[in-house]
Amino acid sequence: MIDRRDDSDIEIERRFVPKAKDINEDIAWAQINKDVLRSMERPRPMYWVIFAASLALFGFGVFCEVYQYQTGLGVADLNNPQVWGLYIATFIFWIGMSHSGTLLSAILHIMHADWRKPIYRFAEAMTTFSLMTAGLFVLVHLGRVWQFYYVVAYPNERWTWPNFNSPLVWDATAIGTYLTSSIVFLYFGMIPDLAICRDTATGFRRKFYWFLSLGWQGTDRQWANFRVAYLTIACFLIPLAVSVHSIVATDFAVSQQPGWHITSFPPYFVAGALYSGCAAIITLFIILRYVFRFEEYMTMPILDKTCRLTFAIAMVWTYLNLIEYASVWYGNDVYAKETLIYRATGLYAPYWWAMNFLGSVVPFMLAFKSMRNNLTIMMVVSLLLNMGMWLERFMIISPTFAHGYYPWTWTSGWWPSWVQWGIVLGSFGWFSMLFMLFCKIFPTVSMYEVKEMVYHRSEARKARNL
Amino acid sequence: MSGSNTIDRRDFLRVLGISGAAATLAGCGNTAIESGVEKVQSYVQPEDFVVPGVGVYYASTCAQCGSGCGVMGRVREGRILKLEGNTHSVISGGKICALGQAAVQVHYNPDRLTTPLMREGGELKPTTWDKAMATLTARLGGESTLKGAQIAFLTGEVSGHQKALIGNFLDSFNSTHHVVYDALSTATGQAASKAVLGAAQPLLQIDKATLILSFGNDFLGAGVSPVHMAAQYARFRKAPRGTLIQIEPRMTLTGANADRWYALKPGTEGVFALGLAHALLEHGQFAKTVPAPIVAALKEYDKETVSGITGVHADAIPHVAGMLMEHTPSLVLSGPSAEGQVNGAQNAAAILLLNVILGNAGKTLQGQASHPFPQLIASAGSYAALTQLNNSMASGQCQALLIAGSNPIFSAPGFLPFAKSMEKVPFKVALVTQVDETAAQCDLVLPLHSPLEAFGSHVSSYQPRGVEIGIQQPLMEGLYPDTRAFGDIVLDLLRQREPKNYKAFPDYYAYLKLAITKARPVFKSKLSDDDFWEDALRSGVLQLDAAPTALKTNASVVVVSKPEKHVIDVRYPFYFVPSVRADLRDGRHANLPWLQESPDSLTTIVWDSWVEIHPSTAAEMQIREGDILEVQSASGSVRAKAYLFPGLQPDTVSMPLGQGHTAYGRYANGMGVNPFKILNPLFDAQTGELATHATRVVIKKTGEHELMVKDEGATNLQQGRKLVATVAADQAELAKETSHVVE
Amino acid sequence: MSLSNLIKNWSSLRVKRPYQDQYKNADYKWGMVIDLDSCTGCNACTTACYAENNLPVVGKESFSKGQAMHWLRIERYWGEGTELAQFPDHGAQFLPMMCQQCESAPCEVVCPVGATHHTPDGLNSQVYNRCIGSRYCSANCPYKVRYFNWWQYPERAWPNPLEKQLNPDVTVRSKGVMEKCTFCVQRLTAAKNQARTDGRRVADGEVTTACAQACPTSAITFGNMADSQSQVAKIWARQQVELASDKQDKKDEGLRGYRIFEELRTYPSVLYLERVRNSDA
C-alpha cells in the first residue's frame, strides 16, 4: 500500500522494515523524535484530501443544522412516534466510538500491554472527539437548543432543578464528566511529548508548546509524579467509561417501550461501544499509518493484536446480542417479542439482518491471520463493522417507534429526510476534521512511551541473550 | 293596499312574515349583547358584564346547516372565540357538532370577501358599496321593470325572516322564483314519506324505539338535525338498550355504530324491504295492516329471490324479520342510498311500508307539531327546481339572478350545463361571505356579514319537540367595515321597491325586532315588547310547547312490482355511491381548515378525495392503497387515490363529496376532486329528482401511486391490545348504570 | 439532613405513586369517563379541542408526514379480534384517545428538566416555558398522545384574521416544545379560582372540558374524583375501578369499565366503558 516515494522521503523509506515485522528495537530515540515530529509538518497529500472532504461534509452539516434551527425540527421529517430518528441513533454510535480510547490507554495501560503504546494517543484523541460529536447530537436533537442549559443543575432564583430521575440528566452529567476526564487524560499523557515539541519548535509554535508543556523538564521527580498521576487518572477513567455507556443504555432500559425495556442493555451497550471503538481504531490506524508515514511505529503486529482484540469483543457483543433476543423471545413480554419479530420481518428487516450479519459474521474475517495482514481488507472490514454498529443503534430506535405499544401510531414507511442525513454526515465531517487537526498539531504517536517500549524490549532481549 | 304612510294589518303581517297562532313562552337566562344598538361597547364605559379578560356567553343560532341548533358564543374583548351548544335549545340540547364549531372559521376565514366585486371588462374587480348598490338599484330597484320569471333568487336552505324577506322581495316583482337548491336534497324520500306516512318529515322518536332498522339513513352523520339525533341515539343506547341494524351499500357513520351491518347492492333496498314485508306478513298478526293486493304481490319476494337480487345472504331476511317481530316498537328508516335511485321513491315507500306493517306510526313515528308561522319554515330544496331555473336561464327568460348560500356550479351534476346557462343571464348577483365557483361567474358579488355578525332567525324544517324559532344575534361587531348583513341588503332593495311598507325599518335589526315582538301574543308572553325581545336574545330561542300530530298512514300507495335483477352494463361494472361527509356536506364547508384537517370518521383521511374499494375487489384487481384510479362514468371521469374500505358492497366503489373546489379559497382549492361531475343523468321515476346513487362506473388503474394522507397508522386492527373493548349486550348490566343517563 | 438520617428514611423518600386514598383528603382530582357505547365517532370533540386549545392546523403535507397536532384523536378500528371478516358486521370501533393523565406517568420521570410533572389535583401538566424539546416524554408514552411543535406554527397556522379566534387563556406554543391534552386546565383553573374566591369547592358540573361539553351523545363525563358525589366518582365507583390499582378486582359481573394499558401500571385517569353490541342482531 505504501511504496510510492518521493525524494524527500528516501531517507526514511530506506530504513523501512518489512510489513510483518514489529517495531525496530534498535531505533535511536532521536530518530523517534524526528519521525514523529516530522508527521506534524509534512504529511502525505492524502491528508489534505481527507481534511478538505471533512471540511466540506462539516460545512454541509452546519448548513442543515442552521436550516433546521431556523425552521423547526419539521424539516427532519420526524413525526409523532418517530420522535428521535437518526439523531439519537448516531448519538449512541458516537458515544460508543469513544470507548476504545479508554480501553487502549487506560485498561491496557494497567494491564501492561506494551503494544498499545504507539497507538493509544490517537485512540485517546478519538475518544475525546467522538464525545464532542456525540454531545453535538444531544444539542441538535433538542427542539429548543437555545434552552439546553436547563438540563444543568445550576442554582437559580426559582430553585428549579433538573429532574434527577431522568436518564437524560444522568446522560448529560456522565458525558460531561467523561469528556472532561478524557480531555485531561489525553492532555496529561501528552505533556512529556509536548515538551519535546517545545524544544524543537520555533516561533509562535514554541510559545504554544511552551505554554502547554507546563514547564516539563523531565526530571526524576517530575517523572515519578507523572507516573502516579497518570495511573490515578487511568483508574478513574475506566469505571467512568463503563458507566457512561451504561447510562446511555438506561435511556432505553429505564423507559417503558417494548424492545427497550431490557435489563441486559447496559452491558450490551458497553460491549457494542468497545466493539465499534476498536473497529474505528483499525480504520484510523490504517489511515494514519499511511498519511503520516507511521509504518515503522504502527506496525502490522500491533494491527494484528488490535484485530484480535476486536474479534474477541465482537464475540462478546454477539453473545450479549443473542442473549437479548433470547430473553425477549422466551420472556413474557408479548409487546417486546412483537417488536423483535417486527425488526426481523417488518419494514426495517433488511437493515436488521444486515446489522446482524455485519456485527456477528463479518468479524470472523478477523479470525484469519492472512486477512489481518491485508491492510485493504482490514480497512473494508473495519468500515463494515462500524456500519453494522451504526445500524444496531438505528435498529434500537426506529423499529421500536414504528411498532410500539400503540398500534394506531404504527408507521408504515418512515424514512429520515435529507436534513437528518446531512447532519449525520456533517458529524462525521466534524469528527474527522477535528481529528485531522489534532494529528497535525499534536504528536499522534506517544514518543516517550515508544521509547520506553523500545527500551524495555531491547533490555528484555539482552536479558534473554545473556 | 291603502294610503302612502299607513300599512294595513294583513299587509303588515305579510311584511313581517308572520301570521298568528297560540302557545306559551319558555326560556330565559344569559345576557344579551344588544340593547337596541348595534355597537360593541368601549371599555371606557363598559357594560357591567363586559370585563376584560373574562369571557361572556351570548346566545345565537348556528347557520352552518339547516338544523337551527341554538348555540352560545364565547365573547372576550369583543372577539368571538368559540361556540358551544345552547342548553335552552331543544334542537341542540346544549351540544354542538364539528360543523357548528367551525362556524368561527367562516367568520375569521382569511379568504373572506371584504369588499364588493363588480365585473369590469370580463373580470371581477373590487368596487365600493356606493357603486355596487347603484348598479344593484339600477337593475332591481324601484325603477326595475322586471317581472315574474325574469327574476329569480337562488338560495340554499334558508328559513326564518330572511326567507320571508326573499319572498317579499320577489313578490314585489310578482315573481315566485325563490329557487332552493340543495345538492343533498331528500325530496324523493320526503315525497314517499308524505305518501305512505302522511308527513314529509315525520318526527323520529329514536329514543323510544327498541330496534331501529335503517336503510342507509345516516341520522348520526350527515342527516337532518344530527346533534338532536345524536342525543336521542344516546338515550336509545341506554338500558333497555335498543338495537340498530343498518343496511346499505357503503357504511355511513350511522352504519359504523350499528349492532349489525349488512351490505347490499345499491338500489335494491326496496326489494329487501319487500322481502322483509313478505316474511312479516306470513305471520297472521300483521295480515290486516296492508291491502290484500299488496300481500298477494309480495308472494314473489321469497328470501331466495330477494337474496339473489340484493346480494344479502338469504338467512338475513328471516333473521331481521324475526328481530323486528321481537322488538316493538321499532323504527324503520330510509336514507339517501335507497332514495337516490331511479326507483328511489318506490324504494323509500317499500321501506316505510314496514313501519305501517309493524304499527310504528304513533309510537316511534309522529307528525311534527303544527307551526304557528309555516312561512318561516325552511323549504326543502330540490333538484327539479334547479333544472327549472336552468331552463329558464338557457331560454333567455331569466334576466336577473340573485344567489345566496348556494353553489350550483360546484355542486350541480356535470351534465347540467348550469354555468353555460348562467352566462345567458344579463345580471347575476351573488351575496356571499367568500367567493365560490358560482359567485366567481357573477357580475356583482356583495360581501356579507358572517352569521356571527348578523341578525337573523332560523326555523328548521325538523322541529323535534314543539316549536322552536332560533334567534341569531351578532356575537361581535363586523370584522370588516365593508361587509353587510344579508337582511340589510334585501331590505334596502325592498325599501326601494315598496317604500311605504318598508321605510319604517332603518335596518334588518329593526325589522326582525318588530317581527319578533309582534309574534309575542303567539307565545302568550306577559312581558313588554322590549323585554320579550331582550328575553328572546338572551335565551336565543323562542319556544312553544305543542303536541306532535298523528300520522295518517296509507299502505295502498306502495307499488309492488315484480322483483327484477339489475341489468349490468358490462362497460360500467361498478355501482358508484357518492358518500356525504358529516362535516364537508356538499362542499360548502371545504373552506374551513378545521374540517379539512378533521379526519373523516371512517377512513381517517384528511385534505383529500379518495376512492373506496372493497379489499376483496382490490385484491382481484391488484390495487393497493394509494394507487391512483380513474373512475369513469358515462358522464365523465375523475382521478383519486384508492382506499381499501371493508364497509362496502364489493361491486361498489364510493367517493366522498365536498372536495375538488377550484375557486373557494386556500383551504379548499386543489384538494381532491368533485364526484358531482361524474353523476349520470338518471332521475327518480316518480319525483323527477336526481338519482344521485344510480351512476355506474368503471375503474381504471393509472399506474401512479401516492401516499395516502390519513391519521390511521400502518394497521387498523387492535393487534390484541384491549383498546376498544366490546361486550355482548346480554353480558353487560346496563340497567345498573342508569343514573348515568343523559339528561 | 444528615447522611444517616437520609439513609434511615430512604424508603419513605421514595414514595410510590399512586397509593391508596391518595386523594382522599384532597380538594381535587380530575378524572374522566368515556362511554364507548355512546361514542359515534362524529369528531365534534376533536374540533372543539382545536377551538378551545389553539391547536394549529398543520396542512396536508405535514399531516402526511405524521405531524398532526390533534390532542384528541378519534381512532377507528375494524374487526373484533385481530382479523377482519369480509365486512365489519358489527360496525367500526371508535376510540377517542387523548392524554390519559396517568397517575404514574411514564412521561414525567424521563423529562430531563421537569417540564412535565404531576399537579396536586392529579393532572399531568406540561410547562411550555420549561420544555427544551428532548421528546423523551413522547418516546416513553405508551399511548403516543404527546404532540411536538415541529414547526413554528404561530407563523403558519393562523393567517390573518384567523388568529383572532385564538383563545387568550391558552398559550400559543412556539416551535420546539411538546404539548398534549391538558384536560382544559385553563377552564379548571378559572373554576377553581372562582370557587376559592367564593370559599367553596368547585361544584360538579360547574366546569367541564371542551370535548365533554361538545359531545352530542354526552359520551364524555368529566369531573372531580375527589368529590365522591360527582358523576365521575360515582361512575368509577359503580364500575369498581380503583384509581390506584393496576388489577381491578371487580365483585360484580357485567361492568364495563376498564383502563387502557392498565397492565403497564400507568394508572390512567380516564376510564373507558366498553362498547356494547347486540350479538343476536
Among chain B residues, the shortest Cα distance to C58 is held by: B597
Chain B: nearest CA to C48, how far in angstroms? 6
B440-494 residue pLDDT tens = 999 999 999 999 999 999 999 999 989 999 999 999 888 999 999 999 999 999 9
Among the partner-chain residues A71, A163, A404, the one whose CB lies closest to the CB of C144 is: A404
Query: Cβ of A411 and B713 within 8 Å?
Result: yes
Tell me the longest C-alpha to C-alpha distance in chain C: 70
Ordered domains of chain B (ranges, CATH): 1-26+111-180+380-546 (3.40.50.740), 187-366 (3.40.228.10), 574-705 (2.40.40.20)
| Residues of chain B contacting A411 with CB distance shorter than 8 Å | 713-714
pLDDT at residue B632 tops 80:
yes
Whole-angstrom Cα distance, residue A400 to residue A341? 11
- Domain total of chain C: 1
From first to last of the 466 residues of chain A, give the pLDDT tens digit.
444 444 444 444 434 444 456 677 777 778 888 888 888 888 888 999 999 999 999 999 999 999 999 999 999 999 989 999 999 999 999 998 888 778 777 888 888 777 888 888 888 899 999 999 999 999 999 999 999 999 888 887 877 788 888 899 998 889 999 999 989 999 998 999 999 888 888 888 899 999 998 989 889 999 999 999 988 998 888 888 889 989 999 999 998 889 898 888 999 999 999 999 999 999 999 998 888 888 888 888 888 888 999 999 999 999 999 999 999 999 888 899 999 999 999 889 999 999 999 999 999 998 888 888 888 999 999 999 999 999 999 999 999 999 999 999 998 888 899 999 999 999 999 999 999 999 888 988 888 888 888 888 888 777 877 6
pLDDT of residue A110: 80
**Phi and psi based region of residue C135 (left: phi greater than 0; alpha: psi -120 to 50; beta: remaining):** left
Query: Which has more pLDDT, B10 or A453?
Result: A453
Count the residues in chain B. Answer: 743
ipTM for the whole complex: 0.93
Exposure on the CB side of residue B18, measured as CA atoms within 13 A: 23
Chain C: closest CA distance from residue A138 (Å): 8
Distance from C-alpha of C112 to C-alpha of B707, rounded to nearest angstrom: 36
Q: Is A417 on the interface with B (CB under 8 A)?
A: no
Give me the percent of chain B exceeding a pLDDT of 90: 73
The model's confidence at residue B22, banded by pLDDT at 50, 70 and 90, is: very low
Asked whether residue C84 is assigned to any structural domain, the reply reads: no
Minimum distance, in Å, between the CA of residue A276 and any CA atom of chain C:
25
pLDDT band for position B91 (cuts 50, 70, 90):
very high
Distance from CA of C138 to the nearest CA of A (A): 7
The strand pair at B610-613 and B636-644 is best described as parallel
Chain A neighbours (≥3 Cβ pairs under 8 A) are B, C
Q: Which pLDDT value is given to residue B33?
A: 43
Selecting from A143, A165, A404 the residue whose C-beta is nearest the C-beta of C148 gives A143
The whole-angstrom separation of Cα A79 and Cα A71 is 15
Looking at the partner chain, which of A81, A338, A407 has a beta carbon nearest the beta carbon of B718?
A: A407
- Residue B402's DSSP bridge partners are B153, B429
| Chain C touched by A169 (CB under 8 Å) | yes
Closest CA to C147 of C60, C219, C49: C49
Instruction: Answer whether C134 sits within 8 Å of A141, measured CB to CB.
Output: yes
Among B25-29, B316-320, C65-69, C134-138, where is mean pLDDT lowest? B25-29
The answer to whether residue A162 neighbours chain C at the CB level (below 8 Å) is: yes
Q: What pLDDT is recorded for position A16?
A: 42
The residue ranking higher by pLDDT, B143 or B712, is: B712
Is the pLDDT score of B25 beyond 50? no
- Give the 3-state secondary structure of residue B684: coil
Each residue of B574-618: pLDDT tens digit? 999 999 999 999 999 999 999 999 999 999 999 999 999 999 999
Shortest Cα distance, chain C CAs vs residue A127, angstroms: 25
Q: Which three cell numbers stand for residue B688?
A: 323527477
Interface check for B257 against chain C (CB to CB < 8 A): the answer is: yes
Rg of chain A over Cα atoms, rounded to whole angstroms, equals: 23
pLDDT in tens, B365-408: 999 998 888 889 998 888 999 999 999 999 999 999 999 999 99
Residue C142 sits at the chain A interface (C-beta within 8 Å): yes
Task: Check pLDDT > 60 for residue B34.
Answer: no
- What pLDDT is stored for residue B133 in this prediction? 93
Q: Which residues neighbour B38 within 8 Å (Cβ) at sequence distance 6 or greater?
A: B474, B477, B507, B509
Mean pLDDT on B690-708: 94
The structure's pTM equals 0.91
Write down the pLDDT at residue B107: 95
Contact B538, B21 (CB under 8 A): no
Name which of B655, A145, A280, A185 is nearest C135 in CA terms. A145
pLDDT number for residue B471: 94
Range with the poorest average pLDDT among A135-144, B152-161, B733-742: B733-742
Q: Cβ atoms within 10 A of the Cβ of C200, count?
A: 10
Q: How far apart are the first and last CA of chain B?
A: 51
pLDDT for res B145:
86
B residues 461..520 contacting C (CB < 8 A): 479
Range of the domain at C236: 25-77+91-273
Which CATH number fits the domain that encloses residue C44?
Answer: 3.30.70.20
pLDDT tens for chain C, 281 residues: list them: 456 766 776 666 566 778 888 888 899 999 999 999 999 999 999 999 999 999 999 999 999 999 999 999 999 999 766 667 789 999 999 999 999 999 999 999 999 998 998 998 999 999 999 999 999 999 999 999 999 999 999 988 999 899 999 999 999 999 999 999 999 999 999 999 999 999 999 999 999 999 999 999 999 999 999 999 999 999 999 999 999 988 888 888 889 999 999 999 999 999 999 999 998 87
pLDDT band at B701 (very low <50, low <70, confident <90, very high): very high
B607 touching C, CB under 8 A?
A: yes
Helix pair A265-291, A375-402: axis angle to 10 deg: 150
Cβ–Cβ under 8 Å, residues A187 and A211 = no
| Interchain pair A412, B713: CB under 8 A | yes
Which residue is listed with cell 405531524? C67
User: Domain A17-402+413-465 has what CATH class?
Assistant: mainly alpha
Among the residues of chain C, which ranges form H helices? Answer: 3-8, 10-13, 44-53, 60-64, 106-110, 136-140, 153-156, 185-197, 210-214, 231-238
Q: Where are the domains of chain A?
A: 17-402+413-465
Is residue C150 classed as helix, strand or coil in its secondary structure? coil
A401 contact C CB<8A: yes
**Calpha distance B38→B506 (Å, rounded):** 12
Mean pLDDT on B257-268: 94
Which residue of C55, C61, C63, C260 to mutate against B (max B Cβ within 10 Å)? Answer: C63
Q: How far is CA A235 from CA A95, A100, A102, A219, A448, in A?
A: 20, 15, 10, 24, 21
Q: Which residues of A touch B718 (CB under 8 A)?
A: 407
Residue B390 phi, psi dihedral angles, 5° rounding: -60, -45
Residues A13 and A172: their CA atoms lie apart, in Å, by: 47
Match 489534532 to its residue by C-alpha cell.
Answer: A438
CB contact under 8 A, C167 and B77: no
In a domain, C13, yes or no: no
